[in-house]
Amino acid sequence: MLCLPGDTVTEDADYMRGHGTYYKSKVLTSSVAGCIDKVNKLLSVRPLRTRYNGEIGDIVVGRVIDVQTEHKRWRIDTSSRLDTILLLSSVNLPGGELRRKTVEDELMMKSFFKEGDLISAEVQSIFADGALSVHTRNLKYGKLGQGVLLRVSPSLVERRKTHFHNLPCGVHLILGNNGYIWISLPVSEGVESGGFAINLDPVPLADREVISRVRNCILALAKQKMMLHSTSINTCYEISQSYQVKDLIKSKIMTEIAQLTNEKMKIEELQ
C-alpha cells in the first residue's frame, strides 16, 4: 500500500510508530512517500530512497574519512546522516591478538587504517546523537583489498541472515546494509589475515570480466529499483551473458536485462 507525506496510516491506537511516520494529534501519519510495512504491531513507511538508517547488527562497508588519533578513533563514511565511528578499542590488532591498546597503538593508527581505505564492519552500537559505532572484531571484517565498490540506495538491500556471498560465477560479494556493495575475488577458506594485509597481485583478465559483468548487472537492477540479493544478481548475471560486458552500461540494455530478471524471478517464485 502506497502513501504520501501527510496521509493517515491508521487511526487505530493499537499500532506502534515506526520509521517514516509521526503522530499528528494522536493519528499515525506518514512523513515520507513510500510503501507501508506492517511487522506485528509496528507500522512503518519505507521510502524509495533514503540515507542509511543503521541498526545494531547490520553489516556495512565504509570508507575511512580521517584518523582522529587524539580521540582514538576513525571516522567512516557509510552514507548515513552522521559520520560513523570506529573506535580503536573495536579493532582487532594485526595477527588477531586481543590485548589492551597501548600508547604505541595510538600512534600506529594510520598504519592500521588510513584515509581512503575501505573496510567491512558490523554495527556495534548507536551513540545518543544517532551516529553509528562499528567494530571489526571478527576475522571476516577488516580492510578490503582489490575489487570494485558500488553505491546504491540502502533500501535495495534487504536485511538477511548473511551479507557475504560467494557467487557461483566466481566472485565474492559483500552487500552492505548501507547500500555500499563490494565485489572482489573469492576469499579462500581458512585464510587468517587478521584483516589488515591486502593482496596486490594483478588479477587475471578472465576474472576481471566476471567482476565487471556482476558490477554492471547490479547497476542495472538498482536502476530499476529491484531488490539486491544473491538470487537476483545471479539471475541477472545469467541473462546478461547474451551481451558484451561493455554493452551492459547502455541504458536500453540495462532496462531490458533488469526486466527479464524480474520476469524470470517471478516465474521461479511461482514454481
Partner 1 sequence: MAELKLSEGEKCYLINGINDNFRIDGRSCWDRREIELENNLLPSCVGSALIRSVNCSVIAGVKMSLVSPDSGRPGKGKIEFFADISANADPLFEGRGGQEMTVELVRFFEDSFKDCSLLDCLTVVEGKQVWCLSIDILILEIGARASLYDLCSIAVKAALYDTRLPKVYFNPDIMDIEISEDPFDLMQLDVSKVPIFVTVTRIGNNYTIDPTQEEEASSIASLLFSVDNCGTLLHSKKLGHGSLHCYPIKELIPKISEVALELHNFIDDQCKSFTSR
Partner 2 sequence: MESRILLESTSVKTPFRIDGRKPHEVRSLTCRLGVFQQADGSSYVKLGNTQVLATVYGPHDTRGKSNPEKSIINCKFRLSTFSKSTRRNLHRDIRSIEISNNLTQVFDSAILTELYPHSQIDIYLEVVQSDGSDYAACINAASLAIIDAGIPIKDVVCACSAGFIDNQPITDINAVEESSNGTPILTIGMLPKDKQILSMESSGGIHLDNLNDVMDAAIEGCKSVLFIMKQTILNHIQELKD
CA distance 11 to 6: 13
Is there a contact between 178 and 123 (Cβ–Cβ < 8 Å)?
Answer: no
Q: What distances in angstroms separate CA 140 from CA 79, 172, 181, 196, one per listed residue?
A: 22, 12, 16, 11
Site string for partner 1, 208-237 (x = CB under 8 A): xx--xx-xx---------------------
Is there a contact between 164 and 140 (Cβ–Cβ < 8 Å)?
Answer: yes
CB of 113 to partner 2, least distance (A): 19
247 half-sphere exposure, CB direction, 13 A CA radius: 9
What is the CB neighbour count within 10 angstroms for residue 191? 10
Q: Does 75 bind partner 1 (CB under 8 A)?
A: no
Q: Does 255 bind partner 1 (CB under 8 A)?
A: no
CB of 158 to partner 2, least distance (A): 13
Q: Does 149 bind partner 1 (CB under 8 A)?
A: yes
Q: Does 48 bind partner 2 (CB under 8 A)?
A: yes
Classify 245 as helix, strand or coil: helix
Q: Does 219 bind partner 2 (CB under 8 A)?
A: no
Give residues 98-137 in contact with partner 1 (rule: CB under 8 A): 115-118
Is there a contact between 181 and 229 (Cβ–Cβ < 8 Å)?
Answer: no
- Residue in 91, 144, 174, 221 binding partner 1, rule: CB under 8 A: 144
CA distance 19 to 260: 32
Site string for partner 2, 92-111 (x = CB under 8 A): --------------------
CA distance 262 to 220: 11
245 binds, among partner 1, partner 2, none (CB under 5 to 8 A by kind): partner 1
Q: What distances in angstroms separate CA 202 from CA 176, 185, 206, 208, 219, one per listed residue?
A: 25, 11, 12, 10, 25
Between 21 and 90, CB nearer to partner 2? 21
Q: Does 6 bind partner 2 (CB under 8 A)?
A: yes
Site string for partner 2, 137-156 (x = CB under 8 A): ------------------x-
Would you put residue 20 in left (φ > 0), alpha (ψ -120 to 50) or beta? left
88-96, 122-130, 156-164, 206-214 -> range binding partner 1 (CB under 8 A): 206-214
List residues binding partner 1 (CB under 8 A). 63, 115-118, 143-149, 198, 200, 202-203, 205, 208-209, 212-213, 215-216, 244-246, 248-251
Residues that bind partner 2 (CB under 8 A): 2, 4-6, 20, 22, 24, 29, 31-35, 46-51, 81-83, 129-131, 155, 224-226, 262
